[in-house]
Copies of this chain bind each other. A is one copy, B any other.
């Protein structure tokens, strides 16, 4: 029986699991669950069902698949206790730092109106602080080793995949805002590219839904900008603003 993966590709942890399975040749049945229609008792995706075994929480799922399925290369989740521990440490850190910052910032600058929620400038400002501090930690601590991946590794681990899928959510930002936030972090940018390359073509295929939403948001924004210019022509008073 195939591993069932309940996922919404708009959710970054769902994408991490889908990419991981595809890269490692694990056959899955992907069951699309919109975030607004949850299936598991804690009302979250992603979740997996392996025979009679059910599991959720993306990090726990990545570790389980890496441990229980044959054919997953050791670099994804090394057998060595110390290297494993360092990966756990990054994954734990992720929750209250990179995830909190990214999710809070994207929600309060872009996604809220699409979900029928008000934009909250104060929450966005607080989330931005957490996000910037998290990017700085990745740049200066997690990526300070020799290799292009976290913890100085030369091959990616489940932590690289999980964190890069999180950061990809920033694609939804207005381009100027995106560049302002991520621009200063050169190693982070190289690391995203290295992770994409190490998992292609699955990385882009699974992110396609995000790229499409991004294109739709950009189109909306430029038509809004056009509208403002036209309004400016019609009502010259605005040109003074």
Chain A interface (Cβ within 8 Å of chain B)?
41-42, 53, 55-61, 63-64, 67-68, 81-82, 84-86, 88-89, 91-93, 95-96, 99-100, 137, 141
Contact = CB atoms under 8 A, between A and B. Distances in A.
How many copies the complex holds: the figure is 2
A88 B57 contact: yes
Contacts of A57: 88-89, 92-93
Contact of A42 (B85, B99, B137): B137
Nearest to A97: B42
A100 B93 CA distance: 14
A82 B61 CA distance: 10
Given A41-B141, A81-B68, A56 B95 contact: no
B89 A55 contact: yes
A221 to B, nearest CB: 31
A122 to B, nearest CB: 11
Given A64-B81, A68-B81, A86 B41 contact: no
Given A64-B85, A67-B81, A96 B99 contact: yes
B99 A82 contact: no
Nearest to A65: B85
Contacts of A95: 92, 95-96
A207 to B, nearest CB: 23
Given A57-B92, A95-B92, A99-B96, A63 B42 contact: no
Contacts of A59: 88, 92
A81 B100 CA distance: 29
A60 B89 contact: yes
A92 B64 CA distance: 13
